[in-house]
Amino acid sequence: MSIVLYHGSQQIVEQPEIRIAKYNKDFYFGFYCTVIKEQAVKWATRYPMTGYISEYVYTENSDVSIKRFDIMTEEWLDFISDCRLGKSHNFDIVEGPMANDTIFNYVQDFVDGKISREAFWELAKFKKPTHQISFHTAKALTTLSFLKGYEVNGD
């Protein structure tokens, strides 16, 4: 199976790489994409600079280990909490709901112990998450083929 994925950033990325950031992300350090073009545009234009979208063909490969979360679940919440606390995992690729800005704050409050698990679910139940797929190993990155890159704005 092959699908088009989008990556939004401050530059066109023909050769994706895994970068260690200052903070831990939902699925830990990795190269993040989405199937939702509008979401990638938001990623690309979140700073007051020119943004760029890079498009890739993603071809599934049975030789890479994939962890999928179809919806927000207890397991998803625990996985994100662990990743944000700096605990790595052994998956090549992780795919699932992305905590939008509001849900992101709820997850962080849960991770920080400011709200309970029950409070998280009560707050998050009416929020619609978006999509993310993250690539965590060099082997995972071989499933991506660069298609094209282009400039976008946040209008």
| Longest CA span, the chain | 44
Whole-prediction pTM: 0.89
Helix (H) or strand (E) holding 49: none
Task: Determine how many CB atoms are found less than 10 A away from the CB of residue 28.
Answer: 22
Please list the residues that pair with 33 across neighbouring strands: 133
Q: Which domain holds residue 9?
A: 2-152
What per-residue confidence (pLDDT) applies to 46? 86
What digits encode the pLDDT tens for the residues 54-82? 999 999 999 999 999 999 999 999 999 99
CA distance linking residue 152 with residue 155, whole number of Å = 9
What digits encode the pLDDT tens for the residues 100-124? 777 878 888 998 999 999 999 998 8
Give the chain's domain count: 1
